[in-house]
Amino acid sequence: MSTEALVDQIRAIAEQYPERESAIMPALHIAQERYGWLPPEALCEVADALELTPAYCKAVASFYDMYHLRPTGRHLVEVCTNVACALVGAQQVVEAFEAELGLRAGETTEDGEVTLRAVECAGGCGYAPVVVVDHRYREPVRPENVPAIVEGLRRAP
Amino acid sequence: MSTPELVTVTIDDRAVQVPKGTGLVETALAAGVEIPVFCYEPRLGPAVGACRMCLVEVEGMPKLQAGCTLTAQDGMTVRTAQTSAKAADGQNATLEFLLVNHPLDCPVCDKGGECPLQDLTFRYGPGRTRMTFPKLTFDKPIPISPTIALDRERCILCYRCTRFSEGVSEDGELVTVNRGAQSMIATFEDEPYRGRFSGNVIELCPVGALTSTQYRFLARPWEIQNVPSVCGLCPVGCNIDVTTREGKVKRVLSRNHPEVDEGWLCDKGRFAFSHPHARDRITEPLRRVRRRGFEELSWDDAVDEAERMLRAAGTRIVTALSGSETIEQAYALGKLLRQGLGAHAAVLPEETSTALDALRLPLSAIRDAELVVVVGDQPVEERAPVVDLWLRAARRRGAEIVTIGPTGSIQTPPGSAPQVCRDLAAENNELGRRLRGGQRSIVIWSGPDGRGGEHIAALAHALGLADVAGSGAFYLPDTPNGRGVADAWSAVADGEPADPEPIALLIVSGDEAAANPGVRALAERAEMVLAITMFQGLAVGWADLVLPGTSYLERDGTYMNLEGRVQRLRRTVIPPAPDELAWLAKLAGRFGVELSPHPSLVFEDVSARLFGGLAFADIAATAALPTRAKAAPRPPLPEPEPQLGGDGLRLLRYRSLFSGAAVERVAELQFQRPAREVEISPEDAAAKGIASGNEVAVRHNGTSVALRATLNRRLAPGVVRIADEHAGDLGARVEVGRA
């Protein structure tokens, strides 16, 4: 997608809001889909499209957990570590992923395949602990399920 | 207006009556009780209750409340930390919490001694800590711009600075990034905070997190003096406190005049104060010897020399004024030349008019307006920056702001403001009809060629605004005191100015006049030139005698601002040379003219003629605005200017706020000066195959200027915009093409 197309798409969405700046969240999602994360130039493009400042876009993007201000791997594993999940062993799930992938939460494997993140509430408290793999929920996930998940990612196209 | 309903609130057993809806902090103050605050600042919009310092106990509410977020309701009973152990406990805990990560590096902090966090900890704080773990540390200080340093360790996240950026100056450049415990104040990436009002966040910061790079480590609050004065860099005349130490200006702070500036100050007014210490400051009289050579001479010799020049020239003298002289200086010059020599010819800094005196309003009336229409070729923020803040405040309050001009919300070609005035005055004009029917309608002229305010006054009269108390008109002049200078000069004598030919002596008063190409052209024709300037770069080289000038920070006297308000300048530091009045008085004596070297006495003389005998000592620290004049002239509506024919794009030159002799001499402000760029509308850019950032050539009549193109969506098609200092000799019609 070209910069012009991105800006046009964001402006079209902004039309649906009474205040242009209310479109910031979907706009950031669109930009993130294009780049895989939100580099400074993406924030500048969103700002340009919505006539906001890049600083304002950065403020919003850095507040929410679902926007990535650093590059991510080809696959994304997000483990919810908020209260409900933490009470039923989310920390152990994070540690299992860390061991299996050989990294710390927040990092990406050296081959650029998988990024592991500990995130805020994913909204699946009834099925805790929740793990979000490439935007799909797996729940509940126990440490013993982790090797199979990672194996699946390694084999995925 | 109906009187607001009064309610009774009891605070710490003291009953107080206030209008319903008054903030609880103010209500408590009325009862003589302090509710301590950090984040609360009514000028920043609704309270956010971020810092929790204001915790109070309210009868009927189970938990402690953030007092700053409450308003006075009838029968409310409030207990502060003074009478409630629970509130005291809460406040104590709040302070302990705020100090968990605060470095307590007060001995090396600029804020130390004038710091709300220090003061409130002293009065309400726990005095000892239970925390034994390490404090959060950050890289520090981070220069968020060349003028402001950020120390994140000291920040208590009150959000005053970001609320200012978002909700007052509306520049959106300073924000909070991240969330919760990781929150911090930041600009975008490594970009500097580039707003026109950024310096206000330094004053708003209740701790030492945002400090001035110019003031860093220079003084302790108990060894400085704050001198109340008025900024002399634009016609708004913002009230300022000038901090001095050992005879030098160390910083400039805002001083709240609720009708003029509401305590805000632009970055030029705040940061340009170091210009009197510029390397090329002239401190001794200079006489030209041979071609372009110069020698210093003593003051006695200089006054003799000036006397000789004046006697030789007689009436064949032209005086070019800058509009930055005080009223007293202009009057003194006039008295010497007009009364002493009969030399009446002058180049006034700009056209002025008394027509607006019948439409006078305080600037704060803009905030309360319903409808404001701004006409003219130049944006308000470049000419009179704080007026822009009043307009933004009005818009936030629900007013409609319509700007009509080349970068306006309604786009018109440059030079069309007279036609716009005629259109608005016509019976069938919808916007004009609404201005006419409104109770709080304001019209503003922002740009050149306004005949000193006559054109906008004519429009305002045609709309009947003079008869409505909340309505009126403003004119944004070019110079800080152009009206005061012109009025003082003309009040001296009645003699008719006849342009002398040839000019025997040209007197150039001030650096602005010396930089004016028109004045330089006159100098070519003059047999002798006497210049009064502060800096070497300007008149040295073509003036026969240069006498050192002074800065507005070094003078006692008065300025008249764009509202027509006469305000006091105070001498904050002693200038490195005698001030203008001192030697003018001496010189006047030699021509039999009685002139006092004391501004207060000169003002008395002026005041009898211009200000109804207002006494110097009666000009309050926050000066009053005279009432509307009944007998002011009613000029006719302006004749439309013929639209400029020819091919190519219309060049709109503008003078950036960050320009002029003072700004050029302040290193910290260089990043704010206009970039070498040409603004072009997206339509014209597309037609010419130009993209933002392209190097382009702007051509006119054989001259060509290389600039970077930048797209400006607000710019009318057919117009390009370039800052004066980068426009060179380009004329009104230009061709723009890829370089």
Asked if A2 reaches chain B (Cβ–Cβ under 8 Å), the answer is no
pLDDT of residue A4: 87
pLDDT surpassing 70 at residue B705: yes
User: What radius of gyration do chain B's Cα atoms show?
Assistant: 28
Q: Give the mean model confidence (pLDDT) for residues A5-18.
A: 94
> From the list A55, A63, A64, which residue is nearest B188 (CB)?
A55
pLDDT digits (tens, 9 = 90+) for B84-126: 999 999 999 999 999 999 999 999 999 999 999 999 999 988 8
CA–CA separation, B490 and B244 (whole Å)? 36
Using an 8 Å Cβ cutoff, are B344 and B495 in contact?
Answer: yes
> Which residues in chain A touch residue B175, judged by CB atoms under 8 angstroms apart?
55-56, 58-59
pLDDT of residue B608: 95
- Mean pLDDT confidence for B482-505: 90
Among B175, B193, B194, B201, which would you mutate to test the A interface (most chain A Cβ atoms within 10 Å of its Cβ)? B175
Place of tokens 């117009």: B719
Any A CB within 8 A of B712 CB: no
Question: Tens digit of pLDDT for each residue in B717-733?
Answer: 999 999 999 999 999 99
Mean pLDDT of B142-167: 97
A55: contact with B, CB 8 A cutoff: yes
Is the Cβ pair A62, B191 closer than 8 Å? no
Cis previous bond, A129, omega within 30: yes
Q: What is the mean pLDDT of chain B?
A: 95
Exposure on the CB side of residue B117, measured as CA atoms within 13 A: 29
Longest distance between any two alpha carbons in chain B, whole Å: 88
Residue B463 CA to its chain's centroid (Å)? 29
Higher pLDDT, A65 or B562: B562
Q: Which residues of A touch B169 (CB under 8 A)?
A: none
Q: What digits encode the pLDDT tens for the residues B632-673?
A: 889 999 999 887 777 889 999 999 999 999 999 999 999 999
- Are B176 and A53 inside 8 Å of each other by CB? no
Query: For B191, which residue in chain A has the nearest alpha carbon?
Result: A55
**The B345-347 sheet, strands edge to edge:** B293-296, B286-289, B545-548, B528-533, B505-509, B317-320, B345-347
The pLDDT, as a whole number, for residue B642 is: 83
3-state SS string over B156-212? CCCCHHHHHHHHCCCCCCCEEECCHHHCEEECCCCCCCCCCCCCHHHHHCCCCCEEE
**pLDDT top residue among B1 and B690:** B690
**pLDDT (0 to 100) of residue A1:** 76
Beta-bridge mates of residue B696? B707, B738
Q: Residue A139 has what pLDDT? A: 83
Give pLDDT tens digits for B156-200: 999 999 999 999 999 999 999 999 989 999 999 989 999 999 999
pLDDT for residue B291:
66
More confident residue, B267 or B448: B267
Q: Do A56 and B172 touch (CB under 8 A)?
A: yes
Single out the residue of B714, B493, B526, B692 nearest to residue B605, CA to CA. Answer: B493
The model's pLDDT over A102-111, given as tens digits with 9 standing for 90+, comes to 999 999 999 9
Query: Nearest-CA distance from B166 to chain A in Å?
Result: 9
Q: What angle do CA B705, B711, B716 make, to 5 degrees?
A: 95
Give A53's contacts in chain B (Cβ within 8 Å): 171-173, 188
How many helices and strands, by DSSP H and E, does chain A display? 7, 4
Q: Do domains A3-63 and A75-155 have the same CATH topology?
A: no
Segment B66-79 mean pLDDT: 96
Could you say which of B171, B187, B189 has the minimum Cβ distance to residue A40?
Answer: B189
Q: Is the pLDDT of residue B1 over 60?
A: no
- List A residues 98-137 in contact with B (Cβ-Cβ < 8 A): none
Q: What is the mean pLDDT of residues A45-52?
A: 95
Where along chain A do its domains lie?
3-63, 75-155
Six-digit token string for B239: 């009230």
Torsion of CA B282, B287, B292, B295, to 10 degrees: -80
What pLDDT was estimated at residue B715? 96
CB contact burial B383-414 (16+ within 10 A = b; e otherwise): bbbbbbbbbbbbeeeebebbbbbbbbeebbbb
- pLDDT, mean of residues B452-465: 96
Q: How confident is the model at residue B292 (pLDDT cuts 50, 70, 90)?
A: low
B188 chain-A contacts, CB cut-off 8 A: 40, 43, 53-55, 58
In one-letter notation, the amino acid at residue B595 is L
Span A3-63 CATH architecture: Orthogonal Bundle (1.10)
CA B733 to CA B599: how far, in whole Å?
A: 47
Q: Are the C-beta atoms of residues B488 and B330 closer than 8 Å to each other?
A: yes
Q: Provide, as residue numbers in chain A, all residues whose Cβ is less than 8 Å from the Cβ of B682.
A: none
Check CB contact of B396 with chain A, cutoff 8 Å. Answer: no
B183 Cα to chain A: minimum distance (Å): 9
Cβ distance B586 to B379 under 8 Å? no
Please report the pLDDT score of residue B588 as a whole number.
97
Sequence-ordered strand ranges (E) for B20-141: 55-58, 65-66, 77-79
> pLDDT at position B3, please?
75
Q: Please give the share of chain A, as a percent, with pLDDT higher than 90.
A: 90
B262 conformational bin, left if phi > 0, alpha if psi -120 to 50, beta if neither:
left
Residue B37: the pLDDT is 97
- Report the distance separating Cα A84 and Cα A129, nearest Å: 7
CA distance B156 to B164: 16
| Residue B601, C-beta contacts closer than 8 angstroms, at least 6 positions apart | none
Give dist(CA B161, CA B136) in Å, integer. Answer: 21
Is the pLDDT score of B540 beyond 90? no
pLDDT, position B2: 62
Q: Look at residue B581 and tell me whether its pLDDT is greater than 80.
A: yes
Interface of B with A in 171-200 (CB under 8 A): 171-179, 186-189, 191
B189 CB neighbours in chain A (<8 A) are: 40, 54, 58
Q: Do A52 and B172 touch (CB under 8 A)?
A: yes
Give the residue among B405, B371, B374 at the shortest CA–CA distance from B388: B374
* Contact assignment for A59 to B175 by CB distance below 8 Å: yes
How many percent of chain B have pLDDT more than 70?
Answer: 99
Under 8 Å CB pairs connecting chains A and B tally to 37
User: How do residues B396-443 score in pLDDT, each as one tens digit?
Assistant: 999 999 999 999 999 999 999 999 999 999 999 999 999 999 999 999
Comparing alpha-carbon positions, the chain A residue that sits nearest to B174 is A55
Question: pTM to 2 decimals?
Answer: 0.95
CATH of domain A75-155: 3.40.30.10
- CA closest to B171 among chain A residues: A53
